[in-house]
Amino acid sequence: MNRNILLEDLSAKDYKETWDYQTNLLQEIVDVKINNRRNNLKNLTKNHFLFVEHPHVYTLGKSGDMSNLLLNEEQLSEKGATFYKINRGGDITYHGPGQIVGYPILDLENFFTDIHKYLRLLEETIILTIAEYGIKGTRSEGETGVWLDVGTPFARKICAMGIRSSRWVTMHGFALNTNVNLGYFDNIIPCGIKGKAVTSMEAELNQKVDLDEVKGKILKHFKTLFEVEEFIISPH
Of the candidates 191, 198, 209, 211, the residue annotated as catalytic is: 191
Q: Which residues contact 35 (CB under 8 A, 6 or more apart)?
A: 41, 43
Mean pLDDT, to the nearest integer, of 93-122?
Answer: 97
Ordered structural domains, the chain, with CATH: 4-233 (3.30.930.10)
Question: Quick one: pLDDT at residue 134?
Answer: 98
Q: Which helix (H) or strand (E) holds 203?
A: helix 201-205
How many whole angstroms separate alpha carbon 159 and alpha carbon 146?
5
Residue 159 annotated to the active site? no
- Residue 122: φ, ψ to 5°: -60, -45
Give per-residue pLDDT as tens, 67-81. Answer: 889 999 899 999 999
Which residues make up each annotated binding site for substrate? 88-95, 160-162, 173-175
Q: What percent of the chain has pLDDT over 70?
A: 97
Q: What percent of the chain has pLDDT over 90?
A: 82
| pTM summary value | 0.95
Question: Quick one: pLDDT at residue 92?
Answer: 87
Residue 195: is its pLDDT beyond 70?
Answer: no
